[in-house]
């Protein structure tokens, strides 16, 4: 957030465009201009005649690996209470024993009140934060950008490969018949990682009564001082905040895979039989394919534990398809007929 002595009171939003008292946040100042990328890959192909033109083995292989690193400005929470997203709340200055003042957010387990501002929060009844100058829970429409946690670091890796193996032949047994068939498999595997904030752990570091600040607790994080959200992003991070930041930092890793398997086979001839205008061509064939898509989100995303982000559910799907065809090429005229315009 910001030191309380820099707060500005107004009936509307302070930072908004147009018409705000202050300009909006300059996102570009804290983001990378272009993502860093590293690419490498290779391609190989072969064709070998086993029995002359009648039996040939062919195939190819393609592989590529692309790694990308990008940075975005520190996380913006959005409103602390947003439907479908985790609720954030800063406990009051002192322990209120679960008694919230009128027109202020409620403690955990308490119903939403009838008056404005009396929204539900996950704040324990004995929670407090000595750095909160207001003796009430701060939540509801409050918004913040969590600068102490640094830029969001985004690393993406795409690994793709394709392989084909097939057989083909022409002039089989001295005829005008030929064939070709192949098996092909391709896959794209994506690893998407982002360094961000865990909402549940962020709420814990705001509560001085949480066991993580108790030296006698098995979950003690090495400090008895809770996180101070009222600091200036233009100054170095408070040393006492560092253990809390390390505890609440989240490293999200989503895995996505898409794959395509295909088999096809065709036979053809350029001379099925003769007609006055020339030989009749014929071809027929079939193909089968299976498409798959798998999305496996990080557990943090499955539970919706990123501030300002909803729940991401696993997604698995696919389909199978097949087709057959037959076609013929029938000559109607030929130059030998001497027909004008033909």
Kind and range of the H or E run holding 229:
none
Whether 120 is covered by a domain: the verdict is no
| Of residues 70, 72, 84, 77, the one with CA closest to residue 36 | 70
| Ranges of the chain whose pLDDT falls below 50 | none
Whether 99 is covered by a domain: the verdict is no
With tokens 């022409």, the residue in question is 170
Q: How many domains does the chain have?
A: 1
**pLDDT at res. 28:** 75
Count other C-beta atoms under 10 Å from residue 51's C-beta. 9
**pLDDT at res. 4:** 65
- Contacts by 238-244, CB closer than 8 A, 24 or more apart: 238/148, 241/148, 244/205
Whether 319 is covered by a domain: the verdict is yes
Q: Are strands 249-269 and 177-197 parallel, antiparallel or unpaired?
A: antiparallel
**pLDDT at res. 5:** 66
Give the CA count within 13 Å in the CB-facing half-sphere of 138.
Answer: 22
Q: Encoding tokens for residue 252?
A: 């999200």
Whether 97 is covered by a domain: the verdict is no
Per-residue pLDDT of 294-326, as tens digits, reads 999 999 999 999 998 889 999 999 999 999 999
Domain carrying residue 218: 4-88+142-337
Whether 205 is covered by a domain: the verdict is yes
Whether 132 is covered by a domain: the verdict is no
**pLDDT at res. 248:** 96
Whether 96 is covered by a domain: the verdict is no
Q: In degrees to the nearest 10, what's the CA dihedral of 133, 134, 136, 140?
A: -100
Whether 151 is covered by a domain: the verdict is yes
Strands (E), 130-248: 152-170, 177-197
**pLDDT at res. 23:** 63
Q: Could you write out the DSSP letters of every residue in 1-35?
A: ---GGG----SS-SB-TTT-SBPPP-GGGGS-SS-
């Amino acid at each position: 957030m910001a030191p309380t002595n820099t707060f500005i009171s107004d009936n509307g939003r302070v930072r908004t465009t147009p018409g705000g008292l202050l300009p909006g946040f300059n996102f570009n100042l804290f983001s990378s201009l272009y993502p860093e990328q590293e690419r490498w890959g290779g391609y190989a192909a072969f064709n070998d005649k086993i029995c002359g033109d009648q039996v040939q083995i062919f195939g190819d292989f393609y592989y590529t690996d692309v790694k990308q690193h990008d940075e975005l400005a520190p996380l913006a929470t959005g409103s602390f209470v947003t439907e479908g997203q985790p609720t954030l709340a800063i406990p009051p200055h002192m322990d209120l024993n679960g008694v919230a003042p009128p027109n202020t957010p409620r403690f955990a387990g308490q119903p939403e009140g009838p008056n404005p501002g009396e929204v539900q929060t996950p704040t324990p009844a004995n929670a407090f934060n000595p750095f909160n100058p207001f003796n009430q829970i701060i939540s509801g429409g409050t918004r913040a950008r969590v600068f102490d946690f640094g830029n969001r670091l985004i690393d993406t890796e795409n690994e793709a490969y394709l392989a084909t193996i097939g057989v083909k032949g022409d002039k089989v047994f001295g005829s005008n018949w030929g064939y070709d068939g192949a098996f092909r498999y391709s896959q794209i595997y994506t690893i998407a990682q982002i360094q961000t904030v865990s909402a549940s752990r962020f709420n814990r570091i705001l509560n001085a009564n949480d066991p993580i600040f108790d030296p006698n607790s098995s979950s003690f994080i090495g400090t008895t001082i809770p996180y101070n959200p009222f600091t200036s992003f233009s100054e170095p991070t408070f040393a006492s905040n560092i253990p809390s930041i390390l505890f609440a930092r989240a490293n999200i890793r989503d895995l996505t895979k898409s794959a395509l398997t295909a088999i096809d086979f065709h036979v053809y001839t350029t001379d099925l039989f003769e007609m006055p205008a020339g030989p009749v061509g014929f071809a027929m064939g079939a193909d089968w394919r299976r498409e798959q898509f798998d999305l496996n989100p990080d557990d943090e995303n499955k539970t919706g534990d990123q501030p300002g982000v909803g729940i991401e559910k696993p997604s698995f799907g696919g389909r199978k398809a097949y087709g057959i065809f037959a076609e013929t090429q029938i000559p109607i005229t030929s130059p030998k007929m001497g027909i004008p315009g033909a």
